[in-house]
Structure 1
Amino acid sequence: MHEATSTTLRVSREAGIARVTIDNPPVNVLDVALMADLRHVLAELRDDDSARVIVFDSANPEFFIAHVDMSLIDSPDAFDQFETGLPDGVNVFQGLGELLRSQPQVTIVKLAGIARGGGAEFVAAADMTFAATERAGLGQVEALMGIVPGGGGTQYVAGRVGRHRALEIVLGADLFDAQTAERYGWVNRALPAADLDAFVDRLARHIADLPDGIIAAAKQAIPPHDLAAGYLREHEAWAQQFVRPAAEKLIRGGLAAGAQTRDGERDLEGLLRSEWARLEAPGS
């Protein structure tokens, strides 16, 4: 087994499978460091013919990727470094999803904890996701920050669950359990946490053991949808909301109330709703 480490990732390779473990304490926020490491490992693996399957998981049993780093409200240009080489009309967060969606390997998320916002977008951009019934959760929480998903979330969710359920997910802004996510089609399958590792490992090994050319042929025959027009619509909608005063107040207020801490992230939806109620209260 070949192993490598970066600031926020641990990567190992064995028998055609690359295992990428996200480790960005305390809650695996999608910050500049994690973005850089994910882009680097995807680019590196893209040219690795020995890797046929990539399995993503988390070193944190509670959180997969919490969401995009909310503290970037104070440094909005921090992600500009990733704009080089992006397709036209795609922002840096959508660009990460496109890298994942266009990966030649089969990409599998092993979701044992919570993924919200940009984390849920990453999950939905992967080829397959398998979730632990007791601990996994998915949510597009952006509406509670005064914005809409801006990293592909509206497009990925609508493609997986349909428009009516996508509107429920985006505007309801709740955390969905694994069983509901499976029923909606947001994830492939919900499994008991005790069975998750063995199931994903078995599937990854079976795929990695297929004859040469089969994976490429299948991905060619079943390509991801072209989301160019949808990305433009989504980015425009996100940008219109991000510049409004409510977004800044909610994001700053959420951080002050405990977002991006372990305790605050366990019920981020409740925390943000309380913050919105406080801001709306007379005299606030």
Structure 2
Amino acid sequence: MNSTLRTSTEDGVLTVVFDNPPVNALGATTMRELRDLLTGLESDDSVKVVVFESANPEFFLAHVDIAVLDQREELEALAASAPEGVNVFQAVGEQIRHQPQVTIVKLAGKARGGGAELVAAADLAFAAEETAGLGQVEALMGITPGGGGTQYLRERVGRHRALELVLAGELVDARTAAAYGWINRAVPAAELDEHVRRVARNIASLAAGVIAAAKKALPPTEFGAGLVAENDAWASLVTRPAAQALLSGALAAGAQTVEGERDLEGLMRGIAHS
């Protein structure tokens, strides 16, 4: 089985490239491979920084695979290893948020749904001004975010903007995402690679103990009951006929194809109004 991740290490920086054609849908295999990779890194003192990027310049992680619930065997295995109180989707973000290394997202293209949740889970995120986009598209699919997005957004952008992003279902450009606080900074696309490389190398070259001390002084928020409430909200909707009709209709209309994902919001609104 081909891996959906490619990795390389240089000067204490591990680069993780998502490579799951055609649009990097976040399926159970990718979640498992990411879990295994990050678990192995927990005791690896040689890696100081982890950079996430995509092999596809258009799509970082499109969103969770719409057919992921059909991947029952792998989902059950992921559920068995997930921490108590979180679902398999939340476990991805929570592992990233608690990783001892500094985690950085380099966002050149689009990240929606679970992909946008992963962006928010990382310690730092930088996006290309001209080409990047972020969106919580779940409401257009008849559900709500179920991978930590509600909690991460509330912390990053505030409740009023989080409600806007969750319910309006619009794709947000990099400058707006930076202004809201969803990402650290929007930079010109031509400068994105070098900017992330410089930040990652500068952090990786810090004196021993500095990263650990900083992360201890700035620990991730423990959302606890918020994650349980988010899962309950998502689970109450995902099996309803309305959501199932929207999800199956999305696949039939071209979701998870390159053309369909370029304007997924328009595609979903077309299904809802048909």
Normalization by structure 2: what TM-score?
0.98
Once residues 197 and 24 of structure 1 are traced to their aligned partners in structure 2, the CA distance between those partners, rounded to angstroms, is 21
Q: Tell me the amino acid that sits aligned with residue 121 of structure 1.
A: E
After superposition, where does 1:153-192 map in structure 2 within 5 Å? Answer: 153-192=149-188
Match of 1:120 in 2: 116
Once residues 77 and 132 of structure 1 are traced to their aligned partners in structure 2, the CA distance between those partners, rounded to angstroms, is 37
Q: Tell me the amino acid that sits aligned with residue 33 of structure 1.
A: T
Once residues 73 and 234 of structure 2 are traced to their aligned partners in structure 1, the CA distance between those partners, rounded to angstroms, is 16
Report if the CA contact (8 A) 2:25-2:62 is conserved: yes
Gaps of 5+ in 2: none
Match of 1:39 in 2: 35
After superposition, where does 1:125-144 map in structure 2 within 5 Å? Answer: 125-144=121-140
Q: Tell me the amino acid that sits aligned with residue 34 of structure 1.
A: T
Residue range with higher mean Cα deviation, 31-40 or 115-124: 31-40
Once residues 25 and 168 of structure 2 are traced to their aligned partners in structure 1, the CA distance between those partners, rounded to angstroms, is 22
Which SS does the other structure have where 1:70 is aligned? coil
1:25 aligns with 2:21: yes
Once residues 137 and 22 of structure 1 are traced to their aligned partners in structure 2, the CA distance between those partners, rounded to angstroms, is 17
Report if the CA contact (8 A) 1:250-1:276 is conserved: yes
Report if the CA contact (8 A) 1:73-1:248 is conserved: no
Match of 1:63 in 2: 59
Q: Give the CA deviation at 1:76.
A: 5.4
* 2:193 counterpart (191, 197, 210): 197
Match of 2:233 in 1: 237
Q: Report the CA distance shift for 1:43/1:190 in structure 2 as closer, same or farther (over 3 A).
A: same
Match of 1:208 in 2: 204
Q: Give the CA deviation at 1:36.
A: 1.3
Match of 1:282 in 2: none
Q: Report the CA distance shift for 1:172/1:11 in structure 2 as closer, same or farther (over 3 A).
A: same
Which SS does the other structure have where 1:84 is aligned? helix
| CA offset digits 1:79-128 (Å, max 9, x no partner) | 12101232221000101111100000000000000000000011100000
Match of 1:83 in 2: 79
Which SS does the other structure have where 1:255 is aligned? helix
Number of residues of Structure 1 aligned to a counterpart in Structure 2: 274
| CA offset digits 1:35-89 (Å, max 9, x no partner) | 1111111112122110000011001000000001002354556512101232221
Q: Tell me the amino acid that sits aligned with residue 121 of structure 2.
A: A
Which SS does the other structure have where 1:231 is aligned? helix
Match of 1:265 in 2: 261
1:152 aligns with 2:148: yes
Normalization by structure 1: what TM-score?
0.94
Q: Tell me the amino acid that sits aligned with residue 271 of structure 2.
A: E
Aligned-CA RMSD value: 1.3
Q: Tell me the amino acid that sits aligned with residue 149 of structure 1.
A: P
Q: Give the CA deviation at 1:134.
A: 0.8
Match of 1:7 in 2: 3
Which SS does the other structure have where 1:7 is aligned? coil
Q: Tell me the amino acid that sits aligned with residue 187 of structure 1.
A: I
Once residues 81 and 265 of structure 1 are traced to their aligned partners in structure 2, the CA distance between those partners, rounded to angstroms, is 29
Gaps of 5+ in 1: 279-284
Once residues 83 and 251 of structure 1 are traced to their aligned partners in structure 2, the CA distance between those partners, rounded to angstroms, is 23
After superposition, where does 1:247-258 map in structure 2 within 5 Å? Answer: 247-258=243-254
Once residues 10 and 208 of structure 1 are traced to their aligned partners in structure 2, the CA distance between those partners, rounded to angstroms, is 20
Match of 2:92 in 1: 96
